[in-house]
């Protein structure tokens, strides 16, 4: 019974996150969703700025703290190891949901591209960014990244295989192509409002802070192989951000 409950929790956490990811695309692009980065309750500039920064900070803090090995070690004393990743996925989705729900638009425009051809080109870049994000998760291991492999191993009674260092496709160009895709998607917009700028800047800052902690963990887990890799490949832009 407990194993079935863990399996169900992992599956629900995955689909919850995937639904939130799809909503994130609409949220950032101001398309197809009722509440987005530019559509929501009216508010003054400073209240909106404070609320929006707090929402991004909530996501960043949750996302970073729950990913740390020390937190995982503490959590798994009280929470089943098989669904530790699923809990992380579910809480990340919840943090994003709260951001969507309570985000306050700041509608003043920073730039507005009116040329139809240029708008299409910019939206194409944004679409490529989202595509890079999704494809990159499959290049490493989509199902392990989102907890499904763990619950399947738990269900079948098999041990999880050891982590193996690989450099498929995008990972030959940058160390963090998922973040590269997000940055493209966040910044490539023909309609950059102040609210969108706040979102893009704060998320970009979080990305580079998160990379620092993530790479510390990767070096601890993968050792010299990752150290050599970091000296040869840039962080999120090809050729830039190589470790010394």
Give how many domains the chain has, as a whole number. 1
Q: Which residue has the tokens 């994003």?
A: 96
* Res. 60 pLDDT band, cuts 50 70 90: very high
Q: Is there a domain that residue 26 lies in?
A: yes
Residue 75 has pLDDT above 80, yes or no: yes
> Does residue 243 sit within a domain?
no
pLDDT at residue 69, rounded to an integer: 87
Tell me the CA distances in angstroms from 140 to 14, 23, 46, 93, one per residue in order: 17, 23, 41, 21
Q: Is the pLDDT of residue 162 over 80?
A: no
pLDDT surpasses 90 at 122: yes
Segment 145-165 shows an average pLDDT of: 87
What is the mean predicted confidence (pLDDT) over 96-103? 97
Range of the structural domain that residue 54 is part of? 2-232
Instruction: Provide, rounded to the nearest whole percent, the portion of the chain with pLDDT above 70.
Output: 100
Residue of 168, 173, 176, 170 lying closest to 236 (CA atoms): 176
Evaluate whether residue 227 is within a structural domain: yes
Is 90 exceeded by the pLDDT of residue 218? Answer: no
pLDDT in tens, 134-149: 999 999 889 999 999 9
Does 100 fall in a domain? yes
Residue 69: partners with Cβ closer than 8 Å, 6 or more residues away: 217, 220
Residue 66 in domain? yes
Q: Is the residue at 183 inside a domain?
A: yes
- Residue 20 belongs to some domain of the structure: yes
Instruction: Specify the pLDDT at position 87.
Output: 96
* 159, part of any domain: yes
């Amino acid at each position: 019974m407990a194993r079935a409950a863990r399996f169900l929790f992992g599956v629900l956490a995955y689909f919850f996150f995937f639904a939130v990811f799809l909503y994130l695309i609409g949220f950032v692009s101001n398309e197809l969703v009722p509440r987005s980065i530019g559509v929501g309750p009216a508010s003054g500039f400073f209240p909106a700025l404070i609320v929006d920064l707090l929402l991004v900070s909530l996501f960043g803090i949750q996302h970073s703290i729950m990913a740390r090995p020390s937190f995982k070690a503490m959590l798994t004393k009280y929470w089943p190891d098989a669904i530790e990743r699923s809990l992380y996925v579910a809480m990340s989705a919840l943090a994003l949901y709260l951001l969507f729900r309570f985000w306050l638009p700041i509608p003043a425009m920073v730039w507005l591209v009116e040329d139809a051809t240029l708008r299409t080109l910019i939206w194409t870049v944004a679409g490529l960014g989202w595509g890079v994000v999704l494809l990159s998760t499959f290049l490493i291991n989509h199902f392990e990244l989102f907890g499904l492999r763990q619950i399947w191993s738990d269900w079948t009674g098999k041990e999880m295989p050891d982590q193996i260092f690989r450099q498929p496709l995008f990972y030959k160009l940058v160390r963090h192509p998922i973040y590269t895709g997000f940055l493209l998607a966040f910044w490539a917009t023909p309609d950059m409002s102040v609210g969108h700028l706040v979102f893009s800047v704060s998320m970009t800052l979080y990305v580079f802070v998160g990379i620092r902690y993530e790479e510390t963990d990767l070096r601890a887990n993968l050792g010299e192989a990752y150290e050599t890799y970091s000296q040869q490949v840039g962080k999120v832009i090809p050729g830039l951000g190589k470790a010394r």
